Structure 1
Amino acid sequence: MTDFDVPATDADTVAGYFDSLGNWGRWGDDDRLGTLNLITPAKRRESAALIREGTAVSLSRDIDPEHPDPLHTGIAVVQRFMQIGEVSHHVGKDGSRFDSVTDYVGIAAHGSNTHLDGLAHYSWDGRMYNGYVVDDEVTSIRGSRKLSVSDAGKGIVSRGVLLDIPALHGVPWLEPGHPITVAELEEAERRQGVTVGSGDVLLVHTGHVARTLEHGVEVLNGLAKQAGLHASCLPWIRERDIAALGSDAIQDVQPSGYPDLSFLRPIHTVGLVALGLWLIDNLELREFVEALRAGDRYEFFFAMLPWRLKGVTSSATNPIAIL
């Protein structure tokens, strides 16, 4: 037994989070921003004041058509990233000296690439965030009419905080299936001298990307194992009122510890549906973590500008941290 043991949180307790932690109606019956409401003008000004050196670091992974699924999510098996170039051949025509190339790019939205999950991505008992009814609002042709990533069109610009969980344990990465607890999050805060607060973008470093690229993926019952947050972290996330949650994995520990398929990814399900919490999956944190450790500072200016895609549940994105 250790101080980081996972609390006994049964499935009924997790199901109860939809009511006890929910933000439905908090910002109005027609709200589509969810926790992004917590990023106020004052919060943005606070984040800008964190820029000291002016060093910018990309937190996005490359999207590579030669390697569409390096993290072995399985998504790219059914939807491949495609790049089709067309050379216009202007040279020699009417004296023209230039050529140009155009592209068509298709992306498996929820695959290995760094991406933002919009609030229409998950539903529970037929309802999405703020009570929007799936059957009324989502079609296979037009997508989600009330909730989409375009709702984040003004960007996610706020104070960023990274909690380095592998460093807490003195390891390069957490092993697949490691469930991160509230005790670990709070010990990382204490160790790093930071406190996660309202309107922050919280990034949780697990080392999943580094480990997967080094050793490949471990699969259990058809599901890729990975370290991530345990469902018992959900009340803490709600209490801290964070605006967005990102990780170098997909937030949830896999397996989740619950045999019921309904609780396959409780951080995703409760977070998106009940809290209206925006999630950033598969961040590239390796270079950034080294920079933070070297400077012994774990708060920074964070900016992410997702594409204004109407009716879509995800956007490829390139988050930037500036130190």
Structure 2
Amino acid sequence: MQFKQSPLALCTGALLAGLTLAGTATAETSIERLQQDAPSNWGKWGDNDEVGALNYLGEAEAQQGASAIRSGKTFTLQIPMTSGTGPVFPGRVPTLHFMATDEGVYMAGKAEPLAGGVKYSDDVAFMYLQGTTHVDGLAHAWYGEQVYGGESSKSTVHGHSHADVGAIGEKGIVGRAVLLDVGRHMGSSDLHRLPVDSCIHLDDLQATAEAQGTTVNKRDILVIRTGSIARFWDEEPDAEWSAMNEPGLCYSKELLEWIDAMETPMIAMDNIAVERVVQEIDGETYIIPLHGALMRDMGVVLSEIWWLDDLAADSAEDGQYDFMLVAAPLKMEQGTGSPVNPVAIK
């Protein structure tokens, strides 16, 4: 059955649709205004680039990473993946792990050992790809109608056809990294962690590097410790852990310009979002503005939920805050992010 609309209704609908489309086309969001004169790397590595500032990491940078190795001590920097529990961003659930085959199926007579007597186990997991220590693909966050490089945001529908995390998996991440232990430098004297809701500014990073005697070079990977993520596991926390009140980087043009000048390929941190989730800038409220500035505009790769306490304690003891970093997310084609277990080699 078909219903006919009157000419007046059709005209009114067309007019309203036109006003809506016009409003959509001309409306400018706060982040678009904020980012008008900010650094952008669109087109710097060609129109088809999908790994952004990771292009700064080449053979020379891998050799610089290797030259930072002195003792050969290694640290793995992923948090434990425990079924049903873990720090995740609101809206996600922790990893859920299930056994598909184990001794129970043999005990119940539901399966027989293989020829010769060997048994085996098998398991399956349901997880958000960003539900543990992970690397974000560059198209994970955007504003307006374009993702990194100017590709349409429609490229994210039903899987990323541009700047997915699989491209970073193909590239890999190898280079010299520096640990900036802001939590130890500016935090409490006993737990060496920043208070909740703390903002980390450019001068805090620079002051931390100076206090450590650490030189940050061009194209170094920045690994920044707040000490916050350990709150999730504290039996007697100094403050309740929440993704929404974690300390993190705070937006400033000076920070963006410094990262641009330093040709920083990646920033990794021991919090959920790298930045403080809720920020006030010039009297307006923003949610994760640095994701738009760093990923969408500059192509800087962000990696989150790292475990840095053991590395930081060792660095405080031996005074070495630079190391070789090797990390590779899973080659999840069309994925927005991927788990990773980074390795620091000192």
For the superposition of Structure 1 and Structure 2, which TM-score range results when normalised by the shorter chain? 0.7 to 0.9
* Gap change, CA 1:13 and 1:58, over 3 Å in 2: same
Once residues 160 and 187 of structure 2 are traced to their aligned partners in structure 1, the CA distance between those partners, rounded to angstroms, is 44
Q: Give the CA deviation at 1:211.
A: 3.0
* Gap change, CA 1:76 and 1:13, over 3 Å in 2: closer
Once residues 92 and 280 of structure 1 are traced to their aligned partners in structure 2, the CA distance between those partners, rounded to angstroms, is 43
Alignment counterpart, residue 263 of structure 2, candidates 241, 244, 266: 241
Aligned to 1:213: 233
Question: Match of 1:268, SS?
Answer: helix
Alignment counterpart, residue 304 of structure 1, candidates 327, 332, 337: 327
* Gap change, CA 1:17 and 1:238, over 3 Å in 2: farther
Aligned to 1:117: 136
Aligned to 1:169: 186
Once residues 138 and 283 of structure 1 are traced to their aligned partners in structure 2, the CA distance between those partners, rounded to angstroms, is 26
Tell me if structure 2 keeps the 8 A contact 1:18–1:274.
no
Aligned to 2:61: 43
* Gap change, CA 1:175 and 1:303, over 3 Å in 2: same
Tell me if structure 2 keeps the 8 A contact 1:21–1:235.
yes
Unaligned runs of 5+ in 2: 1-28
AA partner of residue 236 (structure 1): W
Once residues 239 and 254 of structure 1 are traced to their aligned partners in structure 2, the CA distance between those partners, rounded to angstroms, is 25
AA partner of residue 227 (structure 1): P
Tell me if structure 2 keeps the 8 A contact 1:197–1:241.
no
Q: Give the CA deviation at 1:317.
A: 0.5
Q: Give the CA deviation at 1:18.
A: 5.5
Query: For each residue in 1:302-321, what CA deviation from the matched residue of structure 2 results, as whole angstroms up to 9, or x when unmatched?
Result: 00021111000111000000
Tell me if structure 2 keeps the 8 A contact 1:127–1:134.
yes
* 2:203 matches 1:183: yes
Tell me if structure 2 keeps the 8 A contact 1:217–1:225.
no
AA partner of residue 57 (structure 1): F
Query: For each residue in 1:78-99, what CA deviation from the matched residue of structure 2 results, as whole angstroms up to 9, or x when unmatched?
Result: x752434224856456x43011
Q: Give the CA deviation at 1:19.
A: 4.7
The number of residues matched between the two structures is 301
* 4+ residue runs over 6 A deviation: 11-14
Matched ranges for 1:4-153 at <5 A: 15-17=33-35, 19-67=37-85, 69=86, 71=87, 73-77=89-93, 81-87=96-102, 91-92=112-113, 95-111=115-131, 113-135=132-154, 137-140=155-158, 143-152=159-168, 153=170
Unaligned runs of 5+ in 1: 1-10
Q: Give the CA deviation at 1:255.
A: 2.5
Once residues 147 and 170 of structure 1 are traced to their aligned partners in structure 2, the CA distance between those partners, rounded to angstroms, is 36
Q: Give the CA deviation at 1:20.
A: 2.7
Aligned to 1:292: 315
Tell me if structure 1 keeps the 8 A contact 2:84–2:95.
no
Tell me if structure 1 keeps the 8 A contact 2:231–2:241.
no
Question: Match of 1:116, SS?
Answer: strand
Question: Match of 2:100, SS?
Answer: strand
Q: Give the CA deviation at 1:30.
A: 1.2
Q: Give the CA deviation at 1:40.
A: 1.6
* 2:176 matches 1:159: yes
Query: For each residue in 1:48-82, what CA deviation from the matched residue of structure 2 results, as whole angstroms up to 9, or x when unmatched?
Result: 11111111101110111142x3x2533444x7524
* Gap change, CA 1:14 and 1:100, over 3 Å in 2: same
Once residues 251 and 32 of structure 2 are traced to their aligned partners in structure 1, the CA distance between those partners, rounded to angstroms, is 7
Query: For each residue in 1:168-192, what CA deviation from the matched residue of structure 2 results, as whole angstroms up to 9, or x when unmatched?
Result: 2252210111001111111112112
Query: For each residue in 1:167-225, what CA deviation from the matched residue of structure 2 results, as whole angstroms up to 9, or x when unmatched?
Result: 22252210111001111111112112223232211011111112343226356xxx620
Tell me if structure 1 keeps the 8 A contact 2:113–2:119.
no
Once residues 15 and 99 of structure 1 are traced to their aligned partners in structure 2, the CA distance between those partners, rounded to angstroms, is 62
* 2:218 matches 1:198: yes
Once residues 197 and 73 of structure 2 are traced to their aligned partners in structure 1, the CA distance between those partners, rounded to angstroms, is 34
AA partner of residue 123 (structure 2): D
Aligned to 2:13: none
- Give the greater-gyration-radius structure (CA): 2
Please identify, of 15-24 and 201-210, the stretch whose mean Cα deviation from structure 2 is larger: 15-24
Query: For each residue in 1:137-176, what CA deviation from the matched residue of structure 2 results, as whole angstroms up to 9, or x when unmatched?
Result: 1222xx0111111111231000010111122225221011
AA partner of residue 283 (structure 1): W
* Gap change, CA 1:224 and 1:274, over 3 Å in 2: same
Question: Match of 2:268, SS?
Answer: strand
RMSD over aligned Cα atoms: 2.2
Aligned to 2:14: none
